[in-house]
Amino acid sequence: RERPEVTGLRHPGLPDDPAHALAARQMRRYGCVVSFTLADRDTAERFLAGLRIVDNATSFGGVRSTAERRARWGGDDVPEGFIRLSVGVEDAADLIADLTCALDAAAG
């Protein structure tokens, strides 16, 4: 949220997320998938390439953190820089460091 290159942050656990009220009624916990948008395809690809702990996803559902640039699959009306991140069981501080370094690399 604090990074200027990140827009459209979505997670149902965030009070200002459009799905929060519904999620609060239906869920005990809000899950591990976070999405956000980076400027464009190239920025998103640099972000994904800069990740060291988080794996590039072909599907979600494991215990390791994974991320994908959703538009690469086609079919969904999402921006080219749209990222889906599934947070796994790795240490939170390690994940934050990895994401921060990858965002720095993506920004140039």
Task: Classify residue 44: in a domain, yes or no.
Answer: yes
What's the pLDDT at 77? 85
DSSP class per residue in the chain = ---TT-EEEE-TTSTTSTTHHHHHHH-SS--SEEEEE-SSHHHHHHHHHH-SSSEEPSS--SSS-EEEEGGGG-SS---TTEEEEE--SS-HHHHHHHHHHHHHHHH-
Q: Which of the four pLDDT bands, split at 50, 70 and 90, describes residue 101?
A: very high
Contact at 8 Å (CB) between 50 and 70?
no
Structural domain total, the chain:
1
pLDDT at 59 over 80: no
Task: Classify residue 1: in a domain, yes or no.
Answer: no
Domain that holds residue 57: 7-107
Q: pLDDT, tens digit, for every residue of 60-81?
A: 778 899 999 988 887 788 999 9
Contact at 8 Å (CB) between 55 and 48?
no
Q: Which of the four pLDDT bands, split at 50, 70 and 90, describes residue 16?
A: very high
- CATH code where residue 35 lies: 3.90.1150.10
